[in-house]
Structure 1
Amino acid sequence: MILPPSRTNAEAHLYMDLRPCSCGETRFPRQSAVVALEDGDVAARYTGACPTCGQPREFIFRLPAEPAVAPAGGFRYGGDEPSHLLDPGEWLRVADGYARSVPAEVATGDAAQRARATLIRAVAALDEVLKFVPPGEDVVPAAAFTTEQGRDLHRREPGRFRRDRLAAVRAAYAGMLPQAV
């Protein structure tokens, strides 16, 4: 099955990490190749075997016409448009997971660098949620939630998808960045 475009390798890898094998394992060693599609487009093909059950895994993502460019010294999952791979609920769960994994008090050295990298990814995931809020609107529309996980989070906590609340959480995470250096 050929999936929609992945805007970056990071987005493709995150998508694969969020789609477990039938045995429940989420990670697998991946080989990648660029392949030509029948319609003339190119795609990234990732293959590997599940380390738990040995089942073969394969994901094929169309490559965008113009790849997203990360800001200097920063990290982005994609360009200015919303993701076609993950819905806003999935992105918010990713941001939550990254933020929860950062210790309240960060030491120095390698631990601080890991915390900084994790917070940068949490901020980038929140940026992805914000891309689903239409210009001039204040909330992510219900139609943007295309996965059961995303719809479930939206049903349980719809207020978390308001622009002002997303921006406040993003600012809090970004404000923690200097402390994680």
Structure 2
Amino acid sequence: MTRIARTVIESEVYVGLNPCGCGAGTPPGPSAATAPDGRPMLWHDGPCPQCAKPWPAPFGLPLDVPRFGTTWDTFFGGPGPSTLLDPGEWLLVEKQLASGSIPARNADAATITEFRSMITMATAAINETLRFITDPSQYGLVTVDDCWTGRGRAELTARYRGYTWRRRLEAFREGLSGSLMEFGGGLFENVPITGALTLTGPGPGDDASMNRMVATGRRLMR
């Protein structure tokens, strides 16, 4: 799989999760390249600028991508799932971003702005895990089989015993967004993040999907 960023902010999250073994967090300078879809891009690969060892996580950044999207559906990119981070890694990103406490209502503006920024990114990270679920029903699954990194598999296993479903993630995301609304809604770099965060209701495929969910849970917990 060719690792292609969909936004600049996604590439920054990816680099933050994949520093060089020497501790360097700045990737090698880019070279000109072409994305699989023909778009010109910058390809970050080669020796680490600090220790000169091969960079562990090469990736491409197309020249036409925005820094971030201004809607919930596009914040980290879209419409397809990420090729940089797997669904378990997105859960890890959410956990890291949402680990702080909720500020007091009378907190200073800088504290509230920082909180809104972190929870905006955390909410959007849950959206990215949801993108890996292909079953549209509320019981559509994401499992450790969808993760290509040990880190992602470990997070999904530790948090949800190796699998979880659409409606559960949507409910968790609703809690995060509810905290945001108390302070004015999504905001990142002083730009409002807009759009709807929908909840999947009952549908005609729910019974079959629930049976698959139960079977998957039994398999993963053996």
TM range (shorter): 0.7 to 0.9
Q: Does 1:178 align with 2:176?
A: no
> What RMSD, in angstroms, separates the aligned Cα atoms of the two structures?
3.2
Q: Are 1:90 and 1:149, in contact at CA under 8 Å, matched by a contact in 2?
A: yes
Match in the other structure for 1:158:
160
Unaligned runs of 5+ in 2: 185-222
Q: In 2, are the aligned partners of 1:70 and 1:76 still within 8 Å (CA)?
A: yes
Partner of 1:43 in structure 2? Answer: 41
Show the counterpart of 1:21.
Answer: 20
The 3-state SS of whatever aligns with 2:177 is: helix
Structure with the greater alpha carbon radius of gyration: 2
Determine the structure 1 residue equivalent to 2:122.
Answer: 122
Q: Aligned residue for 2:11?
A: 12
Structure 1 Cα separation of the partners of residues 29 and 71 of structure 2:
26
Distance 1:38 1:9, change over 3 A: closer
Change (3 A) 1:105 1:75: farther
What aligned pairs does 1:1-181 form with structure 2 within 5 A after superposition?
A: 3-23=2-22, 25=23, 27-28=25-26, 33=30, 35-37=32-34, 41-46=39-44, 54-56=50-52, 59-61=58-60, 63=62, 67=65, 70-71=69-70, 76-101=75-100, 103-106=101-104, 107-137=107-137, 138-158=140-160, 161-181=164-184
Task: Name the CA distance, whole Å, in 1 between partners of 2:2 and 2:24.
Answer: 18
1:39-94: CA deviation from partner (whole Å, max 9, x where unpaired): 865222447966xxx32475441538x74772359971111211111100000000
| TM-score normalized by the length of structure 1 | 0.78
* CA deviation map 1:76-134 (0-9, x unaligned): 11112111111000000001111103x23241311100100111000110000010111
Query: What CA distance in whole angstroms lies between the structure 2 residues aligned with 1:79 and 1:46?
Result: 21
Alpha-carbon separation, structure 2, partners of 1:17 and 1:139: 27
For the residues of structure 1 that align with 2:127 and 2:116, how far apart are their CA atoms?
Answer: 16
Given that 2:20 and 2:48 are in contact with CA atoms closer than 8 Å, whether structure 1 keeps it comes out as: no
Can you give the 5+ residue segments of structure 1 that lack an aligned partner in the other structure? none
- In the alignment, the residues of structure 1 paired with residue 158 and residue 72 of structure 2 have an alpha-carbon distance, to the nearest angstrom, of 36
The alpha-carbon distance between structure 1 residues 74 and 167, as it changes in their structure 2 partners (threshold 3 A), is closer
CA contact (8 A) 1:94 1:122 kept: yes
Distance 1:87-1:108 versus aligned 2 partners, 3 A rule: same
CA contact (8 A) 2:144 2:157 kept: no
In structure 2, C-alpha distance between the alignment counterparts of 1:74 and 1:156, rounded to whole Å: 27
Q: 1:164 to 1:42 in 2, by over 3 A?
A: same
Q: The residue matched to 2:20 in structure 1 has which SS?
A: coil
User: TM-score scaled to structure 2, two decimals?
Assistant: 0.65
1:130-155 deviation line (CA, Å, top 9, x unaligned): 10111335211443111001111223
Cα distance in 2 for residues equivalent to 1:145 and 1:73? 23
